[in-house]
């Protein structure tokens, strides 16, 4: 039998970045934490599109500094560095390890395609019980999703056939859409209930509790 692969986005899908970012930034931003994070995301997109490539550590630091300035919040340089400096504070969702264990028991290989730096993801990797079979970072491919660079890099490195590959992710913009463009079966883990078009995904689920059965199902469906 050919090897089946399930690839994941990490932050938002496997790791609860919403709570983690808020916990890290709240000591500096207080009741304006949610406002700061909303402003940050606009700058994150801009910085990730910059050329030459900007490391994600710098995207985090510069993005928070610019977001704070935009909303009139005073932050020190040390406070602006808090996200990369406290990256270990980001924790896995409770449903993740059982789902990963079940996929491995079913014979699947698992990989992560992340908009993160090598060193930052190495710290996150320590939070998982078992290491992934393959990790592709933005630092390696010198680009950020929704660029297809991660997907192409993984395809070459793994040698997987498209029929044996499922991508699972929370972000409709960063992952579901590019996976559709690649013709890869894709499971939208819609933790954020964004209201985006579910037909862009091969299958939509609310969280990863049902992911092993969802993978079996989509492998029999058209991309």
64 and 111 fall within a common domain? no
Q: Is 203 in the same domain as 128?
A: yes
Same structural domain, 148 and 213: yes
Is 223 within the bounds of a domain?
A: no
| Contact partners, residue 70, CB within 8 Å, separation at least 6 | 39, 43
Q: Cβ distance 110 to 6 under 8 Å?
A: yes
Cis peptide before 146 (omega within 30 of 0): yes
Please give the pLDDT value at position 1.
60
Provide the whole-model pTM. 0.96
Question: Range of 78's domain?
Answer: 17-88
pLDDT, averaged across the chain? 97
Average pLDDT of span 205-213: 97
Q: Which of 64, 46, 47 is nearest to 55 (CA)?
A: 47
Non-local CB neighbours of 176 within 8 Å, separated by 6+ positions: 169, 186, 188, 196, 200, 201
SS3 (DSSP) at 76: coil
Name the pLDDT band for 223 (thresholds 50, 70, 90). confident
Residue 6 CB partners (closer than 8 Å, separation 6+): 103, 108, 109, 110, 111, 165, 166, 167, 168, 215
Domain count, the chain: 2
pLDDT average, residue stretch 118-122: 98
Neighbours of 161 (CB within 10 A): 12
Q: For the domain that residue 39 is a member of, what is the CATH number? A: 1.10.150
């Amino acid at each position: 039998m050919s090897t089946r692969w399930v690839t994941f986005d990490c932050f938002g899908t496997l790791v609860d970045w919403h709570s983690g970012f808020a916990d890290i930034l709240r000591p500096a931003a207080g009741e304006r934490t949610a406002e700061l994070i909303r402003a940050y995301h606009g700058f994150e997109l801009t910085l990730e599109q910059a050329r030459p490539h900007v490391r994600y550590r710098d995207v985090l630091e510069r993005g928070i500094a610019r977001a704070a300035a935009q909303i009139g919040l005073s932050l020190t340089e040390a406070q602006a560095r808090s996200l990369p400096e406290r990256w270990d504070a980001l924790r896995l969702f409770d449903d993740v390890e059982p789902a990963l264990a079940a996929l491995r028991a079913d014979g699947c290989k698992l990989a992560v395609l992340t908009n993160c730096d090598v060193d930052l993801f190495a710290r996150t990797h320590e939070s998982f019980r078992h290491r992934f079979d393959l990790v592709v970072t933005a630092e390696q491919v010198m680009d950020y999703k929704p660029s297809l660079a991660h997907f192409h890099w993984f395809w070459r490195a793994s040698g997987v056939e498209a029929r044996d590959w499922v991508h699972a992710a929370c972000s409709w913009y960063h992952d579901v859409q590019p996976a559709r463009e690649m013709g890869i079966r894709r499971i939208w883990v819609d933790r954020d209930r964004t209201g985006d078009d579910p037909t862009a995904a091969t299958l939509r689920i609310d969280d990863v509790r049902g992911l092993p059965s969802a993978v079996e199902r989509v492998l029999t469906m058209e991309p």
